[in-house]
Structure 1
Amino acid sequence: MKKNGAISKWLAYIFLSVLCVIWIVPIIFGLMTSFRSQSEVVSSGFRLLPVDWIVDNYIAILENTSTAPILQWLVNSLFIAVSHTILVVMVVSLTAYGYSRLRFKYRDQLFFLLLGISMFPGVVNLIPSYKIIETFGWVNSPLAMIIPGLAGMGNIFLVRQFMKGIPKEFDESARVDGAGEFTIYSRIILPMIKPVLIVTGLFSFTGSWNDFLWPVIVYSDVEKMPITAGLLLLQDIYGNYRMIGQLMGSAFLAIIPTMLLFLFAQKYFVQSMNLNAGVKG
């Protein structure tokens, strides 16, 4: 039995190692390409490391502030992602509190109806969503990225399930002491659901930062674009084998914020695997 267990463990390690190599080699190759000259890119074939290391691609990227203002795009994306994340945490926590702690008619039926509707593909809502944004005058505005999706049912479901693991005795004790619903929510429930709110915030930030289709639809002003819409524009500027090194460099500048976020917030993603983490009975 021990021998079989050891074999299974080694097979799992080998399988995961192969997956890791398949995932990481293209990323390393793309990063190395950003340090190659254009002549080396088109002539050297597949070579993992550059023959001559250069930083000219990154200098050219940062100096191009007219047709491809990548630093401005990064600032735009950061503002959108942070604002969206803060509002998501506020809206989702309040909504989840209502669906988990308050009692009103058809509460559960309404929740599961909305949860079912949210299962439809997001592409179905693109045209209606754009018409709403256009009606409010939010085209080419950060509000077009910040406001839609604040009350995502996936996040609400996650936080609601976490809240349901908190004993109702906390609420009843607070009501006996004269606390209202908002006091219970802000002073008792919020501190207890901090782990799941952090996870929700992390998911919201990365989702907003990496969103591609929606910003391409609602933005046409180059200066106001987030980084994902800007990268599509760069394919016309740097693509077709003209400036592949600069295109790769731009892509890696775009993923630095999310890489840093994952690096410093790994424990919270691991903690999200257990919805009742942090709730002590």
Structure 2
Amino acid sequence: MIYELKFNQGQSNMFFSSDDEYCCQELVIAKTKSNRVVGKIVRVLEDGVEDLPLDGQIISYLSDTDYDELDNIEEDSLRAKKIVKHMVAEHELGMKIVEVSYTFDRKQLFISFVAEHRVDFRALLKDLADEFRVRIELRQIGVRDAAKIFGGLGPCGRPLCCTNFVGDFPVVSIKMAKNQALTLNQSKLSGLCGRLLCCLSYEDEFYREAKKNFPDYGDVLMTEEGEGKVIGMNIINSTVKLRIQNENINVIKDFSLSDVEVAYG
């Protein structure tokens, strides 16, 4: 079977094979071409994955001894993070260190950072290799990846989607907010990362399909109370907001889609 594993280095999920059965949400030790790593199983794939590129093989669940070692590695990673931050400051580089973590076999140190511009870290990399005496991988990540690592609560009050279950980030655009008739207030549409909320994409297909049954803004519709121009719509309630002009009085009222029809055409 094939298992999808999630890691804490801000990297994409990876796929590993095993002849043994493992359960989702459990931590396992896996072997890549160069390291032993610990990851959480987030998905089990059984059929139709023959062409899926594999990153290695799962070795086992973590034993009590492995959990103790994992705690030690996390402590060492925190100490390494302090050293890395100090060295970045010495080199006066415009980098913000997000995460520093050893692989389970301590053969490699992953360093994730964000930077507004391209950073020449060749001198830093040499000093890091001299300091830690292991293979160093410096990985520049985006602000969305950084939020995924840090975690936190979204505007809805729930844990961040990217930390909880999102693997690859969805494509999100301001057009999705327009489709959902949301107020185009950047601060209310942005997550902790400062980018558009990932959840805007979750219901986008529903709204795009539903809008096919709605008139456009400015269309003139016929109602029992006369002709009205479309000035708003509520896709969830299947209603349209019309401005009806009776003599010199403008009346604004909501109508069900079933109670209106196109006046012309």
Normalising by structure 1, what TM-score? Answer: 0.19
Q: Which has the larger radius of gyration?
A: 2
Normalising by structure 2, what TM-score? Answer: 0.20
**Greater helix fraction, Structure 1 or Structure 2:** 1
**Greater strand fraction, Structure 1 or Structure 2:** 2
